[in-house]
């Protein structure tokens, strides 16, 4: 089985770990890997020997969910040498999820560490905040800030992740443990095996429902209406009022804000993004709002071009009664608004042996915290550091995953609590 070696060899051992076989030579009481064979020629996870310890090499990792959290995690883990595949339930390119984003330090750090883009390439700078009062007066304060868009960040991450390992239209049905691996079953009848499964499939996570069936999102009692308008389509008075500023208005049981964001590509122009929070306590009213004319019901977001015209008309009438004129005019010229109910989600555990929850599958802080993508970036960077292969056994990895979990749970709980406090402060939804 082994070639003759022209060196003093005390013993030759053939060990197997999770279907990956290694021959190891004991030379002066130190084990050295001499090669490996894969059953049936298939890829298998690999481990090697050093000083009598089985050290981790490349792992097969399946990430469920191909949005920002999944892409951030996939890029970070691939750079650690692991074989990573992403499985996204939607077909084709994802679009228009969340519209505008505030750039936080962890996002900037991730992009810089992986040489993906500079902040200047993906952001629109703002110099001031302005607070519009009910009587029409405006308070201004200098506060430089950088804004980006979901689409812009998504395109950058998609370009960075190898397309051959990104699988669209792959809806997970369930998973089972199979000979020390996890077998993931998809709706199309296919199955893949992995050493670890990472759930980045969002607030409605199938994986989370499997490992934490008693935990589910809780409606917060209000929704976020969202929309964008390209700068070329803005009348001069609206452009001048909002340009270079993060604008706010606080009303009775509602709040609206706006800021400029980049479009999908670096050579595109910018657009004005707005978010209007409105209290809707009655769940029957919410259910009616989230149902399209053809009877389809959406739980977490009603996408652009799905809102009935009658609903858009009614919302414009509400705007006239509740909002300052600049915001009313902005809403009136928005072509495809969409709506997103606000939910809270908090899990007590994120690591379940070889299954890991992160991003919105674990915690969903409210948008007021401007931390959803930043949290996902932090989750991904810290998880990749935990999966560093250098001088680490699989048992040590499991121990470090529990340490990672403690840190991420602390962050998730803090952001969730902050989001509730900010919602209460703005008199939105159910009070805590």
8 Å CB contact between 181 and 126: no
Model confidence pLDDT, tens digit, residues 164-207: 999 999 999 999 987 789 999 999 999 999 999 999 999 999 99
pTM of the shown model = 0.86
Residue 97 pLDDT level (bands cut at 50, 70, 90) = low
State mean pLDDT over 380-407. Answer: 90
State mean pLDDT over 34-43. Answer: 35
Domain that holds residue 24: 11-57
What does the alpha-carbon distance between residue 216 and residue 344 come to, in Å, rounded to a whole number? 9
Residue 19 pLDDT level (bands cut at 50, 70, 90) = very low
8 Å CB contact between 20 and 37: no
What does the alpha-carbon distance between residue 353 and residue 344 come to, in Å, rounded to a whole number? 25
Do residues 232 and 366 both lie within one domain?
A: yes
8 Å CB contact between 221 and 280: yes
Say whether pLDDT at 368 is over 50: yes
Do residues 29 and 128 both lie within one domain?
A: no
What is the three-class DSSP state of 425?
helix
Structure tokens at 121: 């390439």
What does the alpha-carbon distance between residue 129 and residue 259 come to, in Å, rounded to a whole number? 10
**pLDDT value, residue 56:** 62
Query: How many Å is the Cα radius of gyration of the chain?
Result: 25
Do residues 53 and 145 both lie within one domain?
A: no
| 6: in domain | no
DSSP string, 386-412: HT--TT-BHHHHHHHHHHHHHHHHHHH
Model confidence pLDDT, tens digit, residues 203-261: 999 999 999 999 999 999 999 999 999 999 999 999 999 999 999 999 989 999 999 99
Backbone φ and ψ of 72, nearest 5°: -60, -45
Do residues 301 and 222 both lie within one domain?
A: yes
| 349: in domain | yes
State mean pLDDT over 121-125. Answer: 92
The DSSP code for 136 is: S
State mean pLDDT over 86-114. Answer: 87
What percentage of the chain reaches a pLDDT higher than 70?
85
Say if strands 196-199 and 218-230 run parallel, antiparallel, or are unpaired: unpaired
| 198: in domain | yes
Residue 55 pLDDT level (bands cut at 50, 70, 90) = low
What does the alpha-carbon distance between residue 143 and residue 127 come to, in Å, rounded to a whole number? 6
The DSSP code for 98 is: S
What does the alpha-carbon distance between residue 364 and residue 266 come to, in Å, rounded to a whole number? 29
Structure tokens at 332: 């009136």
**pLDDT value, residue 269:** 84
Do residues 159 and 173 both lie within one domain?
A: yes
CATH value at residue 140? 3.50.50.60
Structural domain count, the chain: 2
| 5: in domain | no
Do residues 26 and 139 both lie within one domain?
A: no
Do residues 88 and 53 both lie within one domain?
A: no
Mean per-residue pLDDT of the chain: 86
Residue 26 pLDDT level (bands cut at 50, 70, 90) = very low
8 Å CB contact between 325 and 333: no
What does the alpha-carbon distance between residue 261 and residue 242 come to, in Å, rounded to a whole number? 12
Say if strands 245-251 and 124-132 run parallel, antiparallel, or are unpaired: parallel
What percentage of the chain reaches a pLDDT higher than 90?
73
Do residues 140 and 179 both lie within one domain?
A: yes
| 174: in domain | yes
What does the alpha-carbon distance between residue 323 and residue 378 come to, in Å, rounded to a whole number? 36
Q: Which of 50-59, 142-151, 300-309, 410-419 has the lowest mean pLDDT?
A: 50-59
Buried b / exposed e along 150-189 (16+ C-beta atoms within 10 A): bbbbbbbbeebbeeeebbeebebeebeeeeebbebebeee
Q: Which of 37-51, 91-105, 322-336 has the lowest mean pLDDT?
A: 37-51
Do residues 51 and 66 both lie within one domain?
A: no
The sheet carrying 172-178 orders its strands as 172-178, 181-186, 191-194
**pLDDT value, residue 178:** 78
Tell me which of 34, 57, 80 is where a domain ends.
57
**pLDDT value, residue 265:** 65
What does the alpha-carbon distance between residue 353 and residue 342 come to, in Å, rounded to a whole number? 31
| 3: in domain | no
Do residues 34 and 92 both lie within one domain?
A: no
Say whether pLDDT at 48 is over 90: no
8 Å CB contact between 96 and 304: yes
**pLDDT value, residue 338:** 92
| 350: in domain | yes
Buried b / exposed e along 257-290 (16+ C-beta atoms within 10 A): bbbbbbbeeeeeebbbbbbbbbbbeeeeebeebb
What is the three-class DSSP state of 256?
strand
**pLDDT value, residue 99:** 76
What is the three-class DSSP state of 349?
coil
């Amino acid at each position: 089985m082994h070639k003759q070696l022209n060196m003093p060899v005390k013993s030759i051992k053939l060990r197997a770990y999770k279907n990956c076989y290694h021959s190891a030579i004991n030379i002066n009481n130190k084990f050295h890997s001499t090669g490996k064979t894969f059953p049936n020629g298939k890829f298998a996870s690999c481990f090697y020997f050093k000083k009598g310890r089985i050290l981790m090499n490349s792992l097969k990792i399946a990430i469920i969910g191909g949005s920002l959290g999944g892409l951030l995690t996939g890029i970070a883990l691939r750079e650690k040498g692991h074989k990573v595949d992403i499985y996204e339930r939607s077909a084709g390119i994802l679009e228009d999820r969340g519209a505008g984003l505030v750039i936080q330090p962890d996002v900037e750090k991730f992009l810089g560490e992986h040489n993906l883009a500079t902040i200047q390439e993906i952001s629109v700078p703002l110099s001031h905040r302005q607070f519009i009062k009910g009587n029409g007066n405006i308070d201004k304060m200098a506060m430089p800030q950088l804004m980006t868009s979901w689409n812009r960040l998504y395109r950058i991450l998609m370009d960075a992740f190898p397309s051959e390992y990104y699988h669209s239209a792959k809806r997970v049905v369930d998973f089972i443990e199979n000979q020390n691996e996890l077998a993931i079953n998809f709706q199309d009848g296919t199955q893949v095996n992995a050493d670890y499964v990472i759930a980045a499939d969002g607030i409605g996570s199938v994986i989370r429902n499997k490992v934490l069936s008693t935990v589910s999102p809780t409606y917060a009692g209000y929704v976020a209406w969202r929309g964008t308008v390209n700068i070329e389509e803005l009348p001069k008075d609206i452009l001048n009022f909002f340009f270079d500023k993060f604008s706010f208005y606080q009303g009775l049981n509602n709040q609206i804000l706006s800021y400029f964001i980049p479009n999908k590509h670096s050579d595109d122009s910018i657009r004005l993004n707005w978010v209007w929070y409105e209290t809707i306590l009655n769940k029957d009213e919410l259910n009616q709002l989230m149902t399209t004319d053809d009877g389809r019901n959406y739980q977490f977001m009603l996408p652009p071009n799905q809102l009935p015209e009658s609903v858009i008309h009614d919302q414009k009438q509400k705007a006239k009664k509740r909002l300052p004129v600049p915001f009313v005019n902005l809403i009136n010229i928005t072509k495809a608004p969409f709506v997103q109910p606000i939910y809270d989600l908090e899990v007590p555990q994120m690591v379940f042996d070889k299954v890991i929850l992160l991003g919105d599958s674990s915690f969903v802080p409210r948008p007021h915290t401007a931390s959803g993508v930043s949290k996902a970036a932090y989750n991904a960077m810290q998880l990749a550091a935990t999966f560093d292969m250098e001088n680490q056994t699989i048992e040590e990895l499991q121990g470090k995953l529990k340490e990672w979990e403690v840190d991420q749970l602390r962050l998730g709980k803090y952001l969730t609590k902050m989001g509730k406090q900010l919602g209460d402060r703005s008199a939105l939804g159910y009070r805590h």
